[in-house]
Amino acid sequence: MDLQSIKNRFGIIGNSPALNHALNTAVQVAATDLTVLIVGESGVGKEVFSQIIHSLSARKHNPFIAVNCGAIPEGTIDSELFGHEKGSFTGAVDSRKGYFETVSGGTIFLDEIGEMPIGTQARLLRVLETGEFIRVGSSKVQKTDVRVIAATNRELIEFTEKGKFRQDLYYRLNTVPIRVPALRDRKEDIPLLFRKFVVDFAERYKTTPVQLSEDARQLLINYPFPGNVRELKNLAEQISVLSQQAMISANDLKAFLPEKVMNRMLAITPNAQHTGEFANEREILYKLFFDMKKDVTELKKMFLEILQNPSLAGNAANYTKESLLQDFHPNNNETVTNNLPPALIQPVNTNSQPVLLNEHEIQQHEEVEESLNIMDKEKELIIKALKKHKGKRKDASSDLGISERTLYRKLKEYDIDDL
């Protein structure tokens, strides 16, 4: 089966090289029983790739099931995957088969594999290596013949470095990696997808398909689409239902795009288009912070040199005073001097005893500055959210924009007691 036939069969729109490469990899690995790890952002269509692999494999007539590991509570995921015996835990009134038992001979798609608990990861590793599993509450070893396709929107290699994901399981799953490109990385496909969606919705709602003006088309192409294809499809449906015009201008399109994302989109100047520098706001901020850090480092070195060698203090003070006078008011030094703080215009007492800092104190000072990191800020935000909602995890997790299960894991990770 050629690539275009596969696209037609599974409703895949686009011809970007990155998308075609991912599809070719899926087709080539389908005929084998190798474990596949599909990597891509949320909304790029990772589950479609798992269906392609299953449909083109020798298991295509056997069961296929998709399991979202992030949607199953940590206390029940072992039971869901591997089954349990009657009375093995509270509420286990009957014995139950797990997915690895019921789907034997077929394919199981484990979405959001990065959210799987460490204990469950060990059980999964045993299935992948030996094809064996044990029900919860049982001691009987059972066999299964299941092909595993996993997917994640995280970089699992970073999770392994932090101890959140087993390294041996990562390399076992990553036998054949398939990276599905984000929509912003295949901009040439955006107009094709949008056209397909608006035609489909026009048929469903018995309306005329909307069209984009050239400026609206450029705006759509340059929009980052953090929600990827799913967000584009929702946008097409909103425009198809709510738009009063058949021709959509850029201003009309802006009304349907999230304001926060639009505010973060920078207008790229002609020079920036040629040089590729400062393509987004984050890069500009990073450069600003790095420049500030460099300046602070230089000032720190100069200050320490003065403390170690007081004879340099007089020259430094005179130089600083003259520079300030010229910078603030080069034509009226007396006026500026009267407005300066006394510490800047008084001469340095070179006869006083120097304050010497040893290397340990300097290193200790530097360590205090470098200890500020994202994890500290994350912990601080979690504590603030819990205090704000008086310890209610559900409200706090909603305010933070994460799931309640993720918040529970963060509380354990940062050793935060309920507030």
Q: How many angstroms from the chain centroid is the CA of residue 291? A: 26
- Is there a domain that residue 75 lies in? yes
348 & 293 share domain: yes
Separation CA 309–CA 307 (nearest Å): 6
DSSP 106-137: SEEEEETGGGS-HHHHHHHHHHHHHSEEE-BT
The SS3 call for residue 263 is helix
State residue 285's pLDDT score: 60
Q: How many angstroms from the chain centroid is the CA of residue 196? A: 28
- Is there a domain that residue 352 lies in? yes
Length of the chain: 419
163 & 220 share domain: no
- Answer for the pair 14, 3: CB distance below 8 angstroms, yes or no: no
174 & 192 share domain: no
- Is there a domain that residue 170 lies in? yes
- Is there a domain that residue 203 lies in? yes
327 & 387 share domain: no
State residue 371's pLDDT score: 47
Domain of 228, in residue numbers: 184-264
121 & 259 share domain: no
129 & 245 share domain: no
33 & 58 share domain: yes
CATH number, domain of 252, equals 1.10.8.60
The amino acid occupying position 61 is H
151 & 206 share domain: no
What are the Cα distances from residue 141, in Å, to 77, 81, 103, 225? Answer: 19, 15, 17, 47
State residue 318's pLDDT score: 55
189 & 65 share domain: no
State residue 237's pLDDT score: 95
Strand ranges in 61-117 using DSSP code E only, listed in sequence order = 64-68, 107-111
- Is there a domain that residue 74 lies in? yes
| Digitized pLDDT (tens) for each residue of the chain, 419 residues in all | 689 999 999 999 999 999 999 999 999 999 999 999 999 999 999 999 999 999 999 999 999 999 999 999 988 999 999 999 988 888 888 899 999 999 999 999 999 999 999 999 999 999 999 999 999 999 999 999 999 999 999 999 999 999 999 999 999 999 999 999 999 999 999 999 999 999 999 999 999 999 999 999 999 999 999 999 999 999 999 999 998 889 999 999 999 998 777 666 644 434 444 444 344 455 556 556 666 766 777 777 777 777 767 665 555 555 554 554 454 454 544 444 444 444 444 444 444 444 444 555 444 444 444 445 677 778 888 888 888 888 888 888 888 888 888 888 888 887 787 66
State residue 409's pLDDT score: 80
299 & 362 share domain: yes
Q: How many angstroms from the chain centroid is the CA of residue 204? A: 34
State residue 346's pLDDT score: 46
348 & 388 share domain: no
Separation CA 366–CA 376 (nearest Å): 17
387: Cβ contacts below 8 Å, ≥ 6 apart: 419
Domain tally, the chain: 4
State residue 365's pLDDT score: 46
Edge-to-edge strands of the sheet including 36-39? 64-68, 107-111, 147-152, 36-39, 176-179
Separation CA 351–CA 311 (nearest Å): 9
